[in-house]
């Protein structure tokens, strides 16, 4: 594990480097998709910036809400702390910011939302690489499996000699596959199908991975992330069911997403 590297006397956090690379990769994919949709490629920078600001704010606020009793003595300090970010809070905050941007650019459509959830899956997969490299505590429960590993030098180290489930690796592989699938389907299914599939598959991935992670159970033997995942799965199922009843999931032969009507 390598939480930081020293370059010319400056400490560089490896998670931050991977975080930045993730946003860069997402920006490149968005630019490609915008070009396919005959939209200005420069909008990719605006979308990524909106997602970055909204995501960081959302992740921080969500962390404070979930851990209020622990942080209420120093709210200001925790607001500006360099740690304490929760994925679902970041996803919600980023989504709100990007939807606001779409409304402003008069691009609020299911096609645009499908594009954004595809890169959201990609960004999640890349972000977990940062968790793995930095050993930030997102690893799983103790394990003796042949591929189990320790994080003795991580940001949140494991005890000496203890090996655990490398859940960040599992999530990178799973969500990388989800991102690839959604990208392949982008012009093969009706607008909104990619959104429904993203909600279902990402929710299912997180629901299952939580069984071997270290998070605390909060209700019915499930963690907070698992309860949120169940909601995502149900929403995704609802989206797909509605689309199926209104004409099926496959895109009609010869139909094009270019110039798809906006929702507003």
Residue 85, pLDDT score? 61
Q: How would you class 38 by CB atoms within 10 Å of its CB: exposed for 0-12, middle for 13-18, buried for 19 or more?
A: exposed
Each residue's pLDDT expressed in tens, for the chain with a length of 264 residues: 777 777 777 778 888 889 889 989 999 999 999 999 999 999 999 999 999 898 888 877 777 776 666 655 655 554 444 455 676 778 888 889 999 999 999 999 999 999 999 999 999 999 999 889 988 888 999 999 999 999 998 888 999 989 999 999 999 999 999 999 999 999 999 999 999 999 999 999 999 999 999 888 888 889 988 999 999 999 999 999 999 998 888 886 545 555 455 554
In a domain, 62, yes or no: no
In a domain, 77, yes or no: no
Residue 262, pLDDT score? 53
Q: What is the pTM of this model?
A: 0.85
Q: Quick count: other Cβ atoms within 10 Å of Cβ 203? A: 22
In a domain, 44, yes or no: no
In a domain, 92, yes or no: no
Residue 120, pLDDT score? 92
CA dihedral (197, 199, 201, 203) in degrees, to 10, reads -170
In a domain, 11, yes or no: yes
Residue 84, pLDDT score? 54
Residue 70, pLDDT score? 66
Residue 151, domain extent: 4-39+107-245
In a domain, 192, yes or no: yes
Strand partners, 6: 11
Backbone region of residue 120 per phi and psi (left: phi > 0; alpha: psi in -120 to 50; beta: other values): alpha
* Alpha helices (H) in 67-109, listed in sequence order: 68-71, 75-79, 87-104
In a domain, 22, yes or no: yes
Residue 241, pLDDT score? 96
Residue 31, pLDDT score? 96
Report the number of distinct structural domains present in the chain.
Answer: 1
In a domain, 95, yes or no: no
């Amino acid at each position: 594990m390598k939480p930081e590297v020293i370059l010319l006397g400056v400490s560089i956090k490896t998670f931050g480097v991977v975080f930045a690379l993730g946003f860069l990769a997402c920006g490149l994919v968005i630019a490609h998709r915008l070009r396919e949709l005959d939209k200005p490629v420069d909008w990719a920078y605006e979308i990524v910036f909106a997602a970055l600001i909204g995501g960081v704010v959302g992740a921080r606020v969500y962390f404070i809400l979930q851990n209020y009793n622990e942080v209420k003595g120093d709210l200001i300090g925790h607001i500006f702390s360099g740690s304490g970010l929760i994925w679902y809070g970041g996803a919600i905050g980023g989504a709100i910011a990007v939807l606001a941007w779409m409304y402003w650019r008069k691009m609020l459509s299911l096609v645009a939302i499908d594009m954004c959830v595809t890169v959201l899956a990609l960004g999640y997969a890349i972000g977990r690489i940062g968790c793995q490299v930095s050993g930030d505590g997102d690893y799983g429960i103790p394990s003796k499996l042949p591929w189990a590993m320790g994080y003795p030098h991580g940001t949140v180290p494991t005890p000496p000699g203890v090996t655990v489930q490398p859940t960040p690796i599992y999530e990178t592989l799973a969500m990388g596959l989800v991102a690839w699938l959604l990208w392949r389907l982008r012009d093969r299914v009706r607008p909104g199908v990619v959104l429904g599939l993203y909600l279902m598959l990402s929710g299912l991935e997180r629901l299952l991975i939580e069984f071997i992670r270290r998070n605390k159970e909060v209700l019915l033997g499930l963690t907070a992330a698992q309860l949120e995942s169940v909601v995502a799965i149900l929403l995704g199922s609802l989206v797909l069911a509605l689309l199926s009843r209104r004409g099926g999931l496959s895109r009609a032969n010869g139909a094009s997403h270019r110039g798809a009507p906006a929702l507003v």
